[in-house]
Chain A
Amino acid sequence: MDDTLQAVVRATPALEIAPFAVRVRRIVQRVASQFVRNVMPPLVTLAILIGIWEIACSSPTASLPPPTKVVSDTWQLITQPFFDGGGINKGLFWHIFASVKRVALGYMLAAVAGIAFGVLVGSSKLAMRALDPLFQVLRTIPPLAWLPLSLAAFRDGQPSAIFVIFITAIWPIIINTAVGIRNIPMDYQNVARVLRLNKLEYFAQIMLPAAAPFIFTGLRIGIGLSWLAIVAAEMLIGGVGIGFFIWDAWNSSLISDIILALIYVGIIGFLLDRAIALLGRLVTRGTAST
């Protein structure tokens, strides 16, 4: 007891002299070790791949440009993302913004409708028998196959693209929500019955939180599929959007522009996926383990 007390007394001055410097050094060390562990490996892989690409495409007869040429060709696009020359002559930011806006709209609609249908199919045996077989057939239709039909129905590119996103994203949301609702443990239902929760309270207090991890699995698959579908859909409908930008670049043989756009598409898709995953983690905090 006495020894430890003395040890503490002896140790205290040192702590008082340099607490700030020590703390800063610890934080720097932690960030550095995190960096080495998590960020370095993909960066090294990337560097190797770019190196191989550079070597493979550096001959004058190569059909694709090497990375150095991509950068020099597209330097204007990279440095002026907010450029707006009217019509479809815009910087990449505006194209991506238009695509994300379409996805956001179609995806929101799909989330609302998908969760609603999922709840219905998950909680009613009759609804499940009536709807599930239809869903199972409809969900196998490729997203782009809906486009001509929706163009015929809406007679306009914009709502058609949004509809394609909607119809692409809705199936995984419906199916996962329904599974989540069906898997609500009997115990929770019993708790609700003992407490005499009404339908609305049961929905808000038990059903949604219990099914939330499943719902977010569906939402995450949905956002990925939406982003896959929008690029293809925009190639066909034209106008401002990253999909048509790529198609337009192909028609003008601007291969470097295509490559830059693909990189942006990949990064945005990754960010969308992460955003939904983060939202899911925040909302379903604590529900994973019992």
Chain B
Amino acid sequence: MSFEDDERFEQELRRAFGAEDPGEVFTQRVVNRVTVDAVRSVPPRPPARAPWWVALPFAASLVVAVGGVAWVQYARHVEEGERARTQVLTALRLTSEKLNVVRSAVIQAQELR
């Protein structure tokens, strides 16, 4: 055999470069990798949106809670107001009683002259 002939040499080269099929095992490995890759690339689904009326009990609870706090605060305010009013009235009564005592003493003093 001689490779001085170009055409013959190139024929041998084509045989040497002949493509070889890696077989069905290769195909399955590729398919497996593609399947795993496809699953990994799927973005996570956003949480499903619930119907609007599902939030109603929560909204109602929130309103009741806020309203309840406001009522308690109002009631305390009223109570404090009543307490203050009572204190003022008591102070006025005491003052008035003392003034009466002083008035009586002054009148007595004037009658004795």
Q: Do A and B share a complex?
A: no
A residues bordering B, Cβ < 8 Å?
Answer: none
